[in-house]
Structure 1
Amino acid sequence: MDKIRRNDQFYVFSKSNISAADYQVLSIFYMPIIGPNAFALFSILCNLLNRQTLSSEKYLHTDLESMLNTKLSTIEAARNQLEAIGLLNAYLYNDCFAYELKMPMSPSAFINDGVLGQYLQAAVTEDRFKKIVSLFKISKIDKTGFINVTKNFEDIFPAIQKDGFEPITGLIENGKSANINIKKSNFDFRLFTDSIPEPFLDKKYLTDEIKKKIINLSYVYELDEIEMKDIYLKATNSQSEIDLVKLSRYARDAYKQRMQKSQQTEDEVITHVESKSKPKDPVDYFKSVSPQTLLSDLSGGNVSAADLRIIERLIDELKLDRGVVNVLVAYTVKIKDGMMPSYDYFEKVGNNWKRNQVDTVEMAIDYVKHLNSEYEKVKNSGGSKPYSKSKKDDKPEVKIDWLENYIQSQE
């Protein structure tokens, strides 16, 4: 059905214009994997776009044969490669194809992807891989001992009522724009460092990596500055060097101890949980909910430290946004009928989301809706579920409205 013929029409659309930096990533990182034919096809499709409307006129595939000076079978193979690597989405309606161009990943996202970085290294050899990666490296500024005192958006700008304001869709997106600096953590680093006795604090060891790990552990296990101070002291040696493995383990231990105490005062815990007000908007919910609360909402019971460890690793190792991790976990647990799968399973799903450039909560929710829509289409057509490897996998009816219904039930 999706085989192309010479007289089939097509048009191209995109959400953003390709930049010179995108072309550099495309030519140096992508082309060794996809080859010159797919690279040329992507370039031609980009140049057919109207830069203002980000869509093209309708063309025939025989036009592509002429422009690329190649056969239709070569064009189809190149198109399949672009689709597989995440640079193109293809849609078909009444013998007319719509090709949605997707912008290349950033250099960091590409190299740290669980699959693409390895494919590139295999394609160009390890020595060349190191050489071309060095083209994208930036000088690292030593911020040892510095504390980030940058103001957050809500610190400067007053809150306003959202009533009456509707989001405007269909606007040009210029690649990866920098979002305003909305606070993602209430962790007070100054309070944390001030609470550590001076002989045990050597700020040269308090690197950006360590700071980020401390904030993430505080977020995942819901530990305050003083609790993190105690964990920090346990994880340092006599020279004030920090052991990240111990830091993570002691954070889990602190969480386990708190859960044991909570079980002894179960009535108080239930009252506390019920008194928490949840955001009514699913986007706000996923942006603000802690991993512990999310898993508790999904399971209706206590949350194990092992499950929180999975979320900790998703944030640390896949470098996913916290809110996106929340959506990914909620979606995965739902399709697994409430079961929490292993980290390896989450890693595969997470890498797929990264390849599809799902990097905001809004995009994650839209992506889940898209997956559900695709499943419904296959289900209604009587076909088999995409990527299903067994009958066991061909069962879940995934819907995002379960969350909206849940939140409404909390009102």
Structure 2
Amino acid sequence: MLQSWKEVLPGDHYRVQADGQLHSFDQRVITCLYQPLIGIEAASMYFTLWQEIDDSEEFLTHHHLMGTMNVSLDRILSARKKLEAIGLLQTLKKKAASPGQFLYRLEPPLTPDLFFKDGFLNLFLYRQIGPREYKKLSLQFADVPVQIDSYEDVSAHFDDVFESISTSESVDETIAAQSPGSWKARAEAPKISFSNAFDFKKLDMLLSDAILSEDALTDEVKLSIEKLAFVYQMDPYDMSRALQAAALHTGTVDIEKLRKEVRDFYLLEHGPDEMPALYERTQPQEEREIKDIEPQNEEEQLIAWYERNSPYQLLEALGRGSKPAAPDLRLIENLMFDTKLNPGVVNVLIDYISKVNDHNLNKSFVEKVAAQWARANVRTVRQAMTYAREEQRKREQQKPASSARSTKRPYRKTSQNEHHEVVPEWMKNQSQQEKQPSSNDDEVKQRAKWLEDYLNSI
């Protein structure tokens, strides 16, 4: 669970401020376009804070917010982080204040036009709601022009209605023109930022000066590169190829052309029916067990590894550093989209099946186990490991029956290369481990070496 007390306490104060003017139409945009991405609680928090803008001359407490939303502080913190990540909220904390003082600045959402042209958030939305609902939403927000060829403009001009006042009746124009202060205006939606920065230094080394000018990588182009690299999992080498193709004849980067080149490159690699991997690539913070503490034993070390790494990284580890095969990536992506299993849970599932099935990710076997875990609402890595142990126990119980059947057919020869299932140490029966508490030094070193080799293969 999320340890909210490390970041915010119920007694901490906050006040709300809007970055510019928010309009009623923004509510519709957030409900229809953002809520499928951030969830109902994050959207509810945004609307709740919106209503408290006028009340924020005095500080409110987070205990008040907990009561207003009827949710725990952990869930409020989780919703807040989603709003921050997607660009709808900026959180500022006053230094050395006791109790803590927070300033929540609500940011306006993107307009529908910018959202559907974003090339990033719109892809997340497409993956989340599917092509049918996506098309329905895009039509709902579409700007359908009215044919005005058969109309004429009969609007009145300013001087047709109003008259100028005489100089003697006017106020001091100098005072009016120099009135101090600032007034509310519509602010631009902030740019989305990434904690894992794209390696632009390596990208610069791969680009040809003959194709791209020095100032071609503007801030806008760099932001687009970061988004596209995140969505399509592109490294600097592949991105350099797409950039040079987009700027081949002009020497400048057209963002739309760059998006097309990246999409074409992705489709060439993965097939025409594939969408990029848009799932959360590591276990969500609120579902992690090993956070801010050191693992105390081998099992906790494995839990921490499964939580901190993505299924993509697990496939790389299983392949000893080689790039994961496209069919395996498609299997995992479809698995996570259909079953909604967390990435850490999928790590346990894939690692388990790979080890007991001779490194073969049989599609039907994987989907069968995933469906069972989804029905059981397996959310954490430890739960997944418990279910994996139970699955292995059932497989072990089926072995005597199969052995008995084999004795009835003595003519069948046993292969010298008969497959033996290999399972991780954590999957072994816990009761056996309890019965053998006194392992010798060689066994301890062997297990430690196995774990070290496993972790070093990442």
Output the TM-score relative to the length of structure 2.
Answer: 0.34
Report which of the two structures shows the higher radius of gyration computed on alpha carbons.
2
